[in-house]
Amino acid sequence: MGDSLTHLSPAGEARMVGVGHKPETEREALASAWLRMSPETLERLMEGSVPKGDAAAVARIAGIMAAKRTPELIPLCHPLSLSGVDLEVRCHPPRQVEVRARVSTRGRTGVEMEALTAVSVAALALYDMLKGLEKGIEIGPIRLEEKRGGRGGEWIAPGSGEGRDPEAAKGS
């Protein structure tokens, strides 16, 4: 069991995988999260007239902070020295907001979890900033769009792309 599942010891106990033997390479991951809200709430976000202040700025800072703290939140993640975290909040009228995080490092393990954590927390921060206007904001999907570096090389999610609209993909 321990041979095929890397995060389990031979006794079946959770462990942090050793990465000291792996070469350091440039690594990068891109993740996205989507929020769906009423056109009125999105308009207020785009106008910058949210009662709590600049919601997009708060979300960007929250996402960047979250990427840096990922190993404190996800138990088996290695602490990494991140080279960069770029987080964008993009409005897609009439009802959607896209959060994208690109995280990079030079290291022995990838930054997929850091990118996913960044967009997840940024989406939650946006919800917190907007909940006074609308409680029923939906968050999702959240997904890894692409990763580069390491033994696995490059991976791009099917249907990935700038401004990908999950509602259009579902045909709604």
pLDDT value at 85 more than 90: yes
State the pLDDT at residue 15. Answer: 67
Which one, of 133, 137, 138, lies nearest residue 49 by Cα?
Answer: 133
Q: Which residues are catalytic?
A: 128
Nearest to 115 by CA among 29, 39, 56, 53: 29
Model confidence, pTM: 0.86
pLDDT band at 22 (very low <50, low <70, confident <90, very high): low
Summarised one tens digit per residue, pLDDT across range 95-126 is 999 999 999 999 888 899 999 999 999 999 99
Q: If you search the block for the tokens 């960044």, which residue do you land on?
A: 118
- Per-residue model confidence (pLDDT) at position 69: 97
For residue 170, pLDDT over 60 is answered with no
Residue 172 has pLDDT above 60, yes or no: no
Taking Cα atoms as reference points, which of 109, 113, 101, 112 lies closest to residue 64? Answer: 101
- The third-level CATH classification (topology) of the domain covering 25-151 is Alpha-Beta Plaits (3.30.70)
Sheet of 96-107, strands arranged across? 82-92, 96-107, 25-36, 138-148, 155-156
Domain ranges of the chain: 25-151
